[in-house]
Structure 1
Amino acid sequence: MLTANIVYATMTGNNEEIADIVCDSLRKQGVQVKEMEISQTDVNDFKDADILVVCAYTYDEGALPEEGIDFYEDLQETDLSGKIYGVAGSGDKFYGEYYNTTVDHFDDAFKQAGATSGAEKVKIDLEPYEEDIEKLDQFAHDLVKTVQQK
Protein backbone atom coordinates (compact mmCIF):
# COMPACT_ATOMS: atom_id res chain seq x y z
CA MET A 1 0.00 0.00 0.00
CA LEU A 2 1.27 3.45 -0.89
CA THR A 3 1.81 5.92 1.94
CA ALA A 4 1.81 9.71 2.00
CA ASN A 5 2.80 12.34 4.54
CA ILE A 6 1.14 15.73 4.20
CA VAL A 7 2.50 18.65 6.19
CA TYR A 8 0.75 22.01 6.38
CA ALA A 9 1.29 25.49 7.82
CA THR A 10 -1.76 27.70 8.20
CA MET A 11 -2.85 30.95 9.81
CA THR A 12 -6.31 31.32 8.31
CA GLY A 13 -7.19 27.64 7.93
CA ASN A 14 -6.90 27.75 4.12
CA ASN A 15 -3.78 25.56 3.93
CA GLU A 16 -5.19 23.04 6.37
CA GLU A 17 -8.24 22.86 4.09
CA ILE A 18 -5.95 22.35 1.09
CA ALA A 19 -4.13 19.58 2.97
CA ASP A 20 -7.50 17.99 3.88
CA ILE A 21 -8.59 18.00 0.22
CA VAL A 22 -5.33 16.38 -0.93
CA CYS A 23 -5.57 13.89 1.94
CA ASP A 24 -9.13 12.89 0.99
CA SER A 25 -8.21 12.58 -2.68
CA LEU A 26 -5.21 10.36 -1.90
CA ARG A 27 -7.30 8.17 0.44
CA LYS A 28 -9.90 7.68 -2.32
CA GLN A 29 -7.02 6.26 -4.39
CA GLY A 30 -6.15 3.77 -1.65
CA VAL A 31 -3.18 5.68 -0.20
CA GLN A 32 -2.56 5.53 3.55
CA VAL A 33 -2.14 9.18 4.62
CA LYS A 34 -0.70 10.97 7.64
CA GLU A 35 -1.50 14.68 7.90
CA MET A 36 0.51 16.85 10.30
CA GLU A 37 1.00 20.50 11.25
CA ILE A 38 4.48 21.67 10.19
CA SER A 39 5.73 22.75 13.63
CA GLN A 40 4.85 19.30 15.00
CA THR A 41 6.70 17.43 12.25
CA ASP A 42 10.25 16.16 11.87
CA VAL A 43 11.62 15.98 8.32
CA ASN A 44 12.80 12.43 9.06
CA ASP A 45 9.10 11.40 9.12
CA PHE A 46 9.23 11.99 5.35
CA LYS A 47 11.71 9.15 4.89
CA ASP A 48 9.00 6.58 5.70
CA ALA A 49 6.46 7.65 3.07
CA ASP A 50 6.20 7.17 -0.71
CA ILE A 51 4.57 10.56 -1.34
CA LEU A 52 5.56 13.80 0.40
CA VAL A 53 3.39 16.92 0.34
CA VAL A 54 3.81 20.39 1.83
CA CYS A 55 0.92 22.88 1.92
CA ALA A 56 2.08 26.23 3.26
CA TYR A 57 1.23 29.90 3.17
CA THR A 58 3.46 32.82 2.23
CA TYR A 59 3.68 35.50 4.89
CA ASP A 60 3.80 39.21 4.09
CA GLU A 61 6.28 39.96 1.29
CA GLY A 62 7.51 36.47 0.46
CA ALA A 63 8.42 35.20 3.93
CA LEU A 64 8.19 31.53 4.85
CA PRO A 65 5.81 30.66 7.69
CA GLU A 66 7.71 31.32 10.94
CA GLU A 67 6.62 27.95 12.36
CA GLY A 68 7.95 26.18 9.26
CA ILE A 69 11.47 27.63 9.00
CA ASP A 70 13.18 24.81 10.93
CA PHE A 71 11.35 22.21 8.82
CA TYR A 72 12.32 24.06 5.63
CA GLU A 73 15.99 24.26 6.61
CA ASP A 74 16.08 20.59 7.68
CA LEU A 75 14.37 19.57 4.43
CA GLN A 76 17.21 21.03 2.37
CA GLU A 77 19.75 18.94 4.30
CA THR A 78 17.86 15.62 4.23
CA ASP A 79 18.42 12.95 1.60
CA LEU A 80 15.05 12.22 0.03
CA SER A 81 16.38 10.58 -3.12
CA GLY A 82 13.77 8.32 -4.68
CA LYS A 83 10.86 10.09 -2.96
CA ILE A 84 8.01 11.72 -4.88
CA TYR A 85 6.81 15.12 -3.70
CA GLY A 86 4.27 17.82 -4.37
CA VAL A 87 3.79 21.37 -3.09
CA ALA A 88 0.57 23.36 -2.85
CA GLY A 89 -0.37 26.51 -1.03
CA SER A 90 -2.79 29.30 -0.46
CA GLY A 91 -1.73 32.89 -0.83
CA ASP A 92 -3.14 36.32 -1.52
CA LYS A 93 -2.71 37.86 -4.98
CA PHE A 94 -2.71 41.23 -3.22
CA TYR A 95 1.03 40.64 -2.61
CA GLY A 96 1.81 40.66 -6.35
CA GLU A 97 5.33 39.36 -7.04
CA TYR A 98 5.39 37.69 -3.60
CA TYR A 99 2.19 35.72 -4.27
CA ASN A 100 2.65 32.16 -2.98
CA THR A 101 6.45 32.24 -3.16
CA THR A 102 6.63 29.73 -0.28
CA VAL A 103 5.37 27.08 -2.73
CA ASP A 104 8.40 27.80 -4.92
CA HIS A 105 10.79 27.77 -1.95
CA PHE A 106 9.56 24.36 -0.77
CA ASP A 107 9.70 23.05 -4.34
CA ASP A 108 13.37 24.10 -4.49
CA ALA A 109 14.07 22.58 -1.06
CA PHE A 110 12.66 19.20 -2.18
CA LYS A 111 14.82 19.31 -5.31
CA GLN A 112 17.86 20.10 -3.17
CA ALA A 113 16.98 17.06 -1.02
CA GLY A 114 17.05 14.87 -4.15
CA ALA A 115 13.30 14.20 -4.31
CA THR A 116 11.39 14.03 -7.60
CA SER A 117 8.39 16.23 -8.38
CA GLY A 118 5.29 14.12 -8.95
CA ALA A 119 2.85 16.88 -9.81
CA GLU A 120 2.67 20.50 -10.93
CA LYS A 121 2.77 22.99 -8.06
CA VAL A 122 -0.66 24.32 -7.08
CA LYS A 123 -1.09 27.94 -6.03
CA ILE A 124 -4.50 28.99 -4.73
CA ASP A 125 -5.70 32.53 -4.14
CA LEU A 126 -7.14 32.56 -0.60
CA GLU A 127 -9.51 29.64 0.11
CA PRO A 128 -10.04 26.76 -2.32
CA TYR A 129 -13.10 26.96 -4.56
CA GLU A 130 -14.52 24.31 -6.90
CA GLU A 131 -11.92 24.81 -9.66
CA ASP A 132 -9.16 24.68 -7.02
CA ILE A 133 -10.54 21.44 -5.61
CA GLU A 134 -10.40 19.98 -9.13
CA LYS A 135 -6.74 21.11 -9.42
CA LEU A 136 -5.94 19.51 -6.06
CA ASP A 137 -7.64 16.25 -7.05
CA GLN A 138 -5.53 16.22 -10.24
CA PHE A 139 -2.44 17.03 -8.14
CA ALA A 140 -3.13 14.01 -5.90
CA HIS A 141 -3.86 11.80 -8.92
CA ASP A 142 -0.57 12.86 -10.58
CA LEU A 143 1.40 12.11 -7.39
CA VAL A 144 0.02 8.56 -7.23
CA LYS A 145 0.55 8.01 -10.96
CA THR A 146 4.18 9.17 -10.71
CA VAL A 147 4.90 6.79 -7.82
CA GLN A 148 3.26 3.89 -9.65
CA GLN A 149 5.37 4.54 -12.76
CA LYS A 150 8.57 4.61 -10.76
Structure 2
Amino acid sequence: MAKIVLVYASMTGNTEEIADAVAEGIQETGVSVDIRQVLDVNAAELAEYEAILLGAYTWGDGELPDEFLDFYDDLDQLDLSDKKGAVFGSCDSSYPHYGAAVDILTEKLRERGCDIVREGLKIELAPSNEEKEQCRQFGRQFVSSLQIAK
Protein backbone atom coordinates (compact mmCIF):
# COMPACT_ATOMS: atom_id res chain seq x y z
CA MET A 1 0.00 0.00 0.00
CA ALA A 2 1.29 3.46 -0.90
CA LYS A 3 2.47 5.81 1.79
CA ILE A 4 0.75 9.16 1.27
CA VAL A 5 1.51 12.42 3.04
CA LEU A 6 -0.72 15.48 2.97
CA VAL A 7 1.03 18.71 3.99
CA TYR A 8 -0.99 21.91 4.29
CA ALA A 9 -1.11 25.47 5.62
CA SER A 10 -4.32 27.14 6.74
CA MET A 11 -4.84 30.55 8.28
CA THR A 12 -8.63 30.81 8.57
CA GLY A 13 -9.44 27.10 8.50
CA ASN A 14 -10.58 26.97 4.85
CA THR A 15 -7.60 25.00 3.58
CA GLU A 16 -7.76 22.75 6.65
CA GLU A 17 -11.40 21.93 5.79
CA ILE A 18 -10.34 21.07 2.24
CA ALA A 19 -7.42 18.97 3.52
CA ASP A 20 -9.72 17.06 5.88
CA ALA A 21 -12.18 16.32 3.07
CA VAL A 22 -9.40 15.21 0.69
CA ALA A 23 -8.05 12.92 3.44
CA GLU A 24 -11.56 11.48 3.99
CA GLY A 25 -11.72 10.61 0.30
CA ILE A 26 -8.36 8.87 0.49
CA GLN A 27 -9.37 6.94 3.60
CA GLU A 28 -12.65 5.88 1.96
CA THR A 29 -10.53 3.83 -0.47
CA GLY A 30 -8.90 1.96 2.38
CA VAL A 31 -5.60 3.79 2.08
CA SER A 32 -4.17 5.73 5.01
CA VAL A 33 -2.70 9.21 4.80
CA ASP A 34 -0.42 11.13 7.15
CA ILE A 35 -1.81 14.65 7.59
CA ARG A 36 0.74 17.26 8.63
CA GLN A 37 0.70 21.03 9.00
CA VAL A 38 3.58 22.52 7.02
CA LEU A 39 5.25 23.99 10.12
CA ASP A 40 5.40 20.51 11.66
CA VAL A 41 7.20 18.77 8.79
CA ASN A 42 10.62 19.02 7.19
CA ALA A 43 10.65 18.81 3.40
CA ALA A 44 13.26 16.02 3.60
CA GLU A 45 10.61 13.81 5.20
CA LEU A 46 8.87 13.58 1.81
CA ALA A 47 11.48 10.97 0.89
CA GLU A 48 9.65 8.54 3.19
CA TYR A 49 6.49 8.70 1.07
CA GLU A 50 5.45 7.49 -2.37
CA ALA A 51 2.77 10.12 -2.87
CA ILE A 52 2.59 13.79 -1.86
CA LEU A 53 -0.37 16.12 -1.53
CA LEU A 54 0.27 19.78 -0.76
CA GLY A 55 -2.40 22.28 0.26
CA ALA A 56 -2.08 26.03 0.64
CA TYR A 57 -4.05 29.22 0.52
CA THR A 58 -2.85 32.04 -1.69
CA TRP A 59 -1.54 35.03 0.21
CA GLY A 60 -1.60 38.65 -0.94
CA ASP A 61 -1.62 39.16 -4.67
CA GLY A 62 -0.43 35.65 -5.50
CA GLU A 63 2.22 34.42 -3.12
CA LEU A 64 2.68 31.36 -0.97
CA PRO A 65 1.71 31.81 2.67
CA ASP A 66 4.67 32.70 4.90
CA GLU A 67 4.51 29.37 6.71
CA PHE A 68 5.17 27.55 3.41
CA LEU A 69 8.27 29.55 2.40
CA ASP A 70 11.01 27.54 4.18
CA PHE A 71 9.42 24.23 3.14
CA TYR A 72 9.20 25.50 -0.45
CA ASP A 73 12.88 26.52 -0.46
CA ASP A 74 13.90 23.17 1.06
CA LEU A 75 12.19 21.34 -1.80
CA ASP A 76 15.10 22.48 -3.99
CA GLN A 77 17.30 19.94 -2.19
CA LEU A 78 15.06 16.98 -3.09
CA ASP A 79 14.77 14.59 -6.00
CA LEU A 80 11.10 13.67 -6.20
CA SER A 81 11.32 11.76 -9.49
CA ASP A 82 9.98 8.58 -7.90
CA LYS A 83 6.98 10.36 -6.32
CA LYS A 84 3.42 11.08 -7.42
CA GLY A 85 1.77 14.31 -6.36
CA ALA A 86 -1.04 16.83 -6.51
CA VAL A 87 -1.88 20.20 -4.97
CA PHE A 88 -5.04 21.85 -3.64
CA GLY A 89 -5.95 25.08 -1.94
CA SER A 90 -8.48 27.66 -0.92
CA CYS A 91 -8.60 30.63 -3.25
CA ASP A 92 -10.09 34.11 -3.42
CA SER A 93 -11.40 35.33 -6.76
CA SER A 94 -11.06 38.98 -5.67
CA TYR A 95 -7.34 38.72 -6.44
CA PRO A 96 -5.92 38.83 -9.99
CA HIS A 97 -4.05 35.50 -9.65
CA TYR A 98 -6.72 33.01 -8.62
CA GLY A 99 -5.20 30.20 -6.58
CA ALA A 100 -1.61 31.12 -7.42
CA ALA A 101 -0.26 29.08 -4.48
CA VAL A 102 -1.70 25.91 -6.05
CA ASP A 103 0.07 26.71 -9.32
CA ILE A 104 3.36 27.67 -7.58
CA LEU A 105 3.47 24.43 -5.59
CA THR A 106 2.46 22.30 -8.59
CA GLU A 107 5.27 23.81 -10.63
CA LYS A 108 7.80 23.26 -7.82
CA LEU A 109 6.84 19.58 -7.48
CA ARG A 110 7.08 19.16 -11.25
CA GLU A 111 10.46 20.95 -11.30
CA ARG A 112 11.76 18.50 -8.66
CA GLY A 113 10.69 15.54 -10.83
CA CYS A 114 7.39 14.65 -9.16
CA ASP A 115 4.77 13.10 -11.43
CA ILE A 116 1.70 15.36 -11.09
CA VAL A 117 -1.20 12.91 -11.37
CA ARG A 118 -4.15 15.26 -10.72
CA GLU A 119 -4.80 18.82 -11.86
CA GLY A 120 -4.70 21.25 -8.92
CA LEU A 121 -7.94 21.61 -6.98
CA LYS A 122 -8.96 25.22 -6.31
CA ILE A 123 -11.86 25.97 -3.98
CA GLU A 124 -13.26 29.48 -3.47
CA LEU A 125 -12.71 30.34 0.21
CA ALA A 126 -14.51 27.89 2.55
CA PRO A 127 -15.79 24.73 0.85
CA SER A 128 -19.55 24.25 0.63
CA ASN A 129 -21.00 20.79 1.30
CA GLU A 130 -21.00 20.17 -2.46
CA GLU A 131 -17.37 21.28 -2.70
CA LYS A 132 -16.43 19.05 0.24
CA GLU A 133 -17.72 16.13 -1.80
CA GLN A 134 -15.59 17.40 -4.70
CA CYS A 135 -12.60 17.36 -2.31
CA ARG A 136 -13.37 13.79 -1.21
CA GLN A 137 -13.61 12.82 -4.89
CA PHE A 138 -10.21 14.48 -5.46
CA GLY A 139 -8.78 12.26 -2.72
CA ARG A 140 -10.36 9.11 -4.16
CA GLN A 141 -9.15 9.96 -7.66
CA PHE A 142 -5.67 10.69 -6.34
CA VAL A 143 -5.50 7.15 -4.93
CA SER A 144 -6.83 5.71 -8.21
CA SER A 145 -4.19 7.57 -10.17
CA LEU A 146 -1.45 6.00 -8.08
CA GLN A 147 -2.31 2.61 -9.59
CA ILE A 148 -1.70 0.79 -6.35
CA ALA A 149 -3.08 -2.35 -4.86
CA LYS A 150 -5.26 -1.48 -1.90
| TM-score bracket relative to the smaller structure | over 0.9
Amino acid at match of 2:143: V
CA distance in 2 between partners of 1:14 and 1:88 (Å): 11
Q: What are structure 1's unaligned runs of at least 5 residues?
A: none
3-state DSSP of counterpart to 2:18: helix
Detail structure 1 runs of 4+ shifted over 6 Å in the superposition: none
CA distance in 2 between partners of 1:75 and 1:143 (Å): 21
3-state DSSP of counterpart to 1:98: coil
- 1:89, 1:122 within 8 Å by CA — same for their partners in 2? yes
- The CA deviation at 1:77 is 3.0
Could you tell me the percent identity over the aligned residues?
Answer: 36
Deviates most, 130-139 or 86-95 = 130-139
Tell me whether 1:106 sits opposite 2:105 in the alignment: yes
CA distance in 2 between partners of 1:115 and 1:64 (Å): 19
Q: What are structure 2's unaligned runs of at least 5 residues?
A: none
Counterpart in the other structure of 2:67: 67
Counterpart in the other structure of 1:126: 125
Q: How many residues align?
A: 149
Counterpart in the other structure of 2:57: 57
- The CA deviation at 1:87 is 0.3
- 1:5, 1:33 within 8 Å by CA — same for their partners in 2? yes
Cα deviation per residue 1:29-79 (whole Å; 9 max; x = unaligned)?
A: 111211111111111221112221111011111121101101111123310
Counterpart in the other structure of 1:146: 145
Counterpart in the other structure of 1:47: 47
Counterpart in the other structure of 2:32: 32
Larger proportion of helix: 1
- The CA deviation at 1:135 is 2.4
Cα deviation per residue 1:92-113 (whole Å; 9 max; x = unaligned)?
A: 1111x22210000000000011
- 1:85, 1:119 within 8 Å by CA — same for their partners in 2? yes
3-state DSSP of counterpart to 1:89: strand
What's the C-alpha RMSD, in Å, of the aligned pairs?
Answer: 1.5
CA distance in 2 between partners of 1:73 and 1:142 (Å): 28
Q: Which has the higher contact order (CA 8 A, sep 6+)?
A: 2
- The CA deviation at 1:131 is 3.0
